[in-house]
Amino acid sequence: MEKQAGVKKNSFFERFAAKVTKLTGSTGAFITAFVVVLVWAVSGPVFHYSETWQLVINTGTTIVTFLMVFLIQKSQNKDSLAIQLKLNELVAAHQYASNRLVNVECMTEDELKVIQKYYAQLNKMAMKDENLQESHSIDEAEESHKLKKAQADERDAKTHANKGK
Q: Are 102 and 88 in contact (CB under 8 A)?
A: yes
pTM of the model: 0.58
The domain limits of the chain are 1-93, 104-165
The alpha-carbon radius of gyration of the chain (Å, integer) is: 29
d(CA 5, CA 160): 67
How much of the chain exceeds pLDDT 90, in percent?
39
Q: Are 99 and 110 in contact (CB under 8 A)?
A: no
pLDDT tens, 98-157? 777 788 888 899 999 988 888 888 787 777 776 656 655 666 666 766 777 788 788 888
> What secondary structure letter does DSSP report for 99?
G
Of 132, 163, 162, the residue nearest 148 (C-alpha): 132
Q: Which of 17-26, 87-96, 100-109, 123-132 has the lowest mean pLDDT?
A: 123-132
As a whole number, the mean pLDDT across the chain is 84
In the chain, count of helices (H) and strands (E)? Answer: 5, 2
Work out the angle between the directed axes of helices 109-128 and 138-164 (0-180°, nearest 10).
20
